[in-house]
């Protein structure tokens, strides 16, 4: 590898090997443990749906009943389908309702009973997996029909030429799905290629997924299967109207990460926010719980053809974007390793980074260019998720609009694949439609005037930008070496990322983790790890 930055290919290869060495023990941890959310995700694939009158999903009630009788370490599929056979039932949701009423008891089957239960579980879960497969094929059919910028992750030019252009990513967040829908459709008509529905504050810490269409949220809208369905249908209508495929994004993070991944696959969402460490660092979720949930969720994303968006931009909201730039590179390398191990391809890696250097820092624009180009050259086949300024937005909307213009220009000069639209009213209000219109004008102007600039932009050999990129990569390698001398979990506990200290034996959700017993069985993992 040389490219525009003349990076040392030996150093780049060493960085990747160090990331693999740091990540392998975490993968082994994930392969030997399960969580309540992984088990609930398995039962959702098998068809458990709906909620009790208190709004608690039947899948929670069923897993809780199994755990109360036999624990979590065997997996729930064997005990649940053994009970179905014994009760001479075929409806798993009905079994969940009986279990919640205390009229069904569970046992770990053995011998022929175990064989029969596993066969039934594999058949039921296979129905859910095939539905995900059908919807992935449907997305691919629609992308082929509409083409355009939807193919950016494959490096294909958009309509009208102009070189490789990013997917324009825009957020809606009213708290009411029926208000989100017209806003999302308006955003699509104004040029958005990707619509992200921000999730209600605090949902990541709920250990259940709310049910149904929702009209009350806090700074966002609850992520539910019905809300996914409604928004997907609306954006399909917009895609037909506009003649280009409009993508939908939500969150596979928090305590229900595996279940959100399943629901996204069952409702044909296209991108999911899914970072390896975000929940640990910024939501204080137990590290082991997070890594176990994350591996399963990424296996589902790989199968569903969903692009993940990682969250390194968040590190720079708590840490300095210059001093800690190398921690972003380290996290990108770790996210890449974990994603590949789970089966995701490079085109599915929306690795995150951000324009968060203090504008008062001398040469801040050149530093941003160096960091963005480093990410582009380290991950040439990944779309990358380029995040706009937030930390240093002051409420001065004119200054904010200028910063967003500089952000858009760096994106154009470095060939970013997914460009989140920055708002000049960041830190002032939840954006109004008029704010989004002005922000999109900013994007259209920069991409129209300089969208192909990455073809001509070449930093001076040995100049400021090359030297800065080399320094960040060198610091990233040294940090990975230090992590290798201890462990990734220790590094997280000591506050290496985002200056947040998160020990592995603390954090939310730890009670929902169990080591596999010798007879642990998970039909979903069995299918997902089988070559397609």
Taking the C-alpha atoms of residue 26 and residue 436, their distance in angstroms, rounded to an integer, is: 41
Beta strands in 359-441 (DSSP E): 385-387, 418-420
Beta strands in 108-198 (DSSP E): 167-172, 194-197
**Nearest residue to 382 (alpha-carbon basis) of 159, 163, 152:** 152
- CB of 446 closer than 8 Å to CB of 388: no
The sheet carrying 385-387 orders its strands as: 349-350, 307-309, 271-273, 247-251, 194-197, 167-172, 418-420, 385-387, 352-354
Walk along the chain (532 residues) and give the pLDDT tens digit of each residue: 469 999 999 999 999 999 999 999 999 999 999 999 999 999 999 999 999 999 999 999 999 999 999 999 999 999 999 999 999 999 999 999 999 999 999 999 999 999 999 999 999 999 999 999 999 999 999 999 886 544 444 433 333 333 347 999 999 988 999 999 999 999 999 999 999 999 998 999 999 999 999 998 888 999 999 999 999 999 999 999 999 999 999 999 999 999 999 999 999 999 999 988 889 998 999 999 999 999 999 999 999 999 999 988 888 888 899 999 999 999 999 999 999 999 999 999 999 999 999 999 999 999 999 999 999 999 999 999 999 999 999 989 999 999 999 999 999 999 999 999 999 888 777 777 788 889 999 999 999 999 989 999 999 999 999 999 999 999 999 999 999 999 999 999 999 887 889 999 999 999 999 999 999 999 999 999 987 7
Active site positions, annotated: 278, 313, 385
Name the residue with tokens 């995900």: 132
Taking the C-alpha atoms of residue 165 and residue 158, their distance in angstroms, rounded to an integer, is: 7
- CB of 225 closer than 8 Å to CB of 263: yes
CA distances from 216 to 168, 177, 213, 226, 296 (A): 27, 9, 10, 14, 30
Q: How many Cβ atoms from other residues are within 10 Å of residue 154's Cβ?
A: 10
- CB of 161 closer than 8 Å to CB of 185: no
State the pLDDT at residue 498: 76
- The four Cα atoms 8, 24, 327, 484 give a dihedral, to 10 degrees, of -80
State the pLDDT at residue 1: 47
393: phi then psi, degrees, rounded to nearest 5: -80, 125
User: What is the SS3 assignment for 77?
Assistant: helix
Taking the C-alpha atoms of residue 152 and residue 107, their distance in angstroms, rounded to an integer, is: 50
Taking the C-alpha atoms of residue 339 and residue 383, their distance in angstroms, rounded to an integer, is: 14
H helices of 216-277, in order, are 225-242, 257-266
Taking the C-alpha atoms of residue 368 and residue 31, their distance in angstroms, rounded to an integer, is: 38
Taking the C-alpha atoms of residue 72 and residue 80, their distance in angstroms, rounded to an integer, is: 12
Q: If residue 100 lies in a helix (H) or strand (E), which one and from where to where?
A: helix 92-100
**Nearest residue to 234 (alpha-carbon basis) of 302, 186, 270:** 186
Q: Supply the DSSP symbol for 4.
A: T
What residues contact 40, with CB distance under 8 A and at least 6 apart?
A: 57, 59, 60, 63, 256, 258, 259
- CB of 210 closer than 8 Å to CB of 235: no
State the pLDDT at residue 472: 98
- CB of 511 closer than 8 Å to CB of 285: no
Burial class (CB in 10 A: 0-12, 13-18, 19+), 518: exposed
Taking the C-alpha atoms of residue 410 and residue 365, their distance in angstroms, rounded to an integer, is: 8
**Nearest residue to 407 (alpha-carbon basis) of 374, 439, 362, 455:** 439
130: phi then psi, degrees, rounded to nearest 5: -65, -35
Taking the C-alpha atoms of residue 355 and residue 411, their distance in angstroms, rounded to an integer, is: 10
Q: Left if phi > 0, otherwise alpha if psi is -120 to 50, otherwise beta: which for 109?
A: beta
User: What is the SS3 assignment for 196?
Assistant: strand
Q: How many Cβ atoms from other residues are within 10 Å of residue 20's Cβ?
A: 18
What residues contact 446, with CB distance under 8 A and at least 6 apart?
A: 405, 408, 409, 411, 412
522: phi then psi, degrees, rounded to nearest 5: -140, 105
Taking the C-alpha atoms of residue 320 and residue 501, their distance in angstroms, rounded to an integer, is: 16
Read off the pTM: 0.94
Q: How many helices (H) and strands (E) does the chain have?
A: 19, 11
């Amino acid at each position: 590898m040389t490219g525009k930055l003349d990076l040392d290919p030996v150093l780049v290869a060493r960085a990747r090997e160090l990331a693999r060495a740091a990540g392998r023990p975490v993968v082994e941890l994930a392969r030997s443990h399960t969580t309540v959310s992984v088990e609930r995700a398995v039962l959702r694939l098998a068809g458990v749906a709906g909620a009790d009158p208190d709004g608690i999903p039947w899948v929670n009630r069923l897993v809780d009943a199994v755990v109360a009788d036999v624990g979590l370490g065997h997996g729930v599929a064997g005990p649940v389908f053994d009970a179905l056979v014994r009760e001479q039932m075929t409806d798993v949701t009905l079994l969940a309702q009986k279990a919640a009423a205390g009229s069904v008891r569970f046992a770990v089957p053995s011998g022929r009973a175990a064989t029969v239960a596993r066969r039934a579980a594999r058949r039921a879960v296979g129905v859910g997996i095939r539905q995900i497969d059908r919807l992935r094929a449907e997305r691919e059919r629609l992308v082929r029909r509409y083409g355009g910028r939807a193919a950016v992750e494959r490096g294909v030019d958009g309509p009208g030429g102009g070189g490789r252009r990013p997917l324009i990513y825009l957020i809606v967040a009213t708290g009411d799905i029926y208000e989100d829908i017209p806003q999302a459709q308006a955003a699509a008509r104004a040029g958005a290629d990707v619509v992200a529905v921000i999730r209600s504050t605090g949902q990541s810490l709920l250990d259940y997924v709310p049910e149904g269409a929702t009209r009350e949220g806090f700074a966002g809208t609850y992520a539910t299967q019905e809300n996914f369905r409604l928004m997907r249908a609306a954006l399909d209508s917009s895609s037909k109207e506009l003649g280009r495929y409009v993508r939908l994004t939500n969150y596979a993070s928090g305590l229900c990460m595996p279940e959100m991944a399943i629901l996204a696959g069952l409702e044909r969402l296209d991108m999911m926010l899914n970072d390896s460490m975000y929940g640990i660092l910024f939501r204080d979720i137990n590290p082991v719980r997070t890594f176990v949930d994350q591996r399963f969720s990424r296996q589902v994303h790989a199968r569903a053809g969903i692009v993940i968006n990682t969250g390194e931009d968040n590190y720079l909201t708590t840490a300095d974007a210059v001093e800690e730039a190398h921690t972003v590179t380290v996290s990108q390398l770790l996210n890449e390793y974990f994603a590949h191990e789970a089966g995701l391809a490079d085109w599915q890696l929306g690795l995150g980074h951000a324009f968060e250097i203090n504008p008062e820092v001398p040469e801040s624009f050149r530093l941003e260019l160096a960091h963005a180009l480093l990410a582009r050259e380290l991950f040439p086949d990944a779309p990358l998720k380029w995040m706009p300024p937030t930390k240093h937005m002051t409420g001065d909307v004119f200054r904010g609009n200028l910063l967003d213009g500089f952000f858009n220009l760096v994106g154009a000069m470095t060939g970013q694949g997914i460009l989140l639209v920055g708002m000049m009213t960041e830190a002032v209000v939840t954006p109004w439609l008029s704010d989004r219109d002005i922000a999109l004008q900013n994007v259209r102007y920069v991409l129209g005037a300089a969208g192909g600039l990455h073809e001509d932009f070449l930093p001076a050999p040995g100049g400021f930008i090359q030297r800065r990129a080399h320094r960040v990569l060198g610091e990233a390698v040294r940090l990975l070496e230090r992590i290798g001398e201890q462990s990734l979990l220790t590094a997280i506990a000591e506050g290496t990322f985002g200056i947040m200290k998160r020990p592995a034996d603390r954090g939310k959700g730890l009670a929902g983790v169990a080591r596999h017993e010798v007879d642990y069985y998970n039909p979903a993992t069995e299918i997902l790890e089988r070559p397609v």
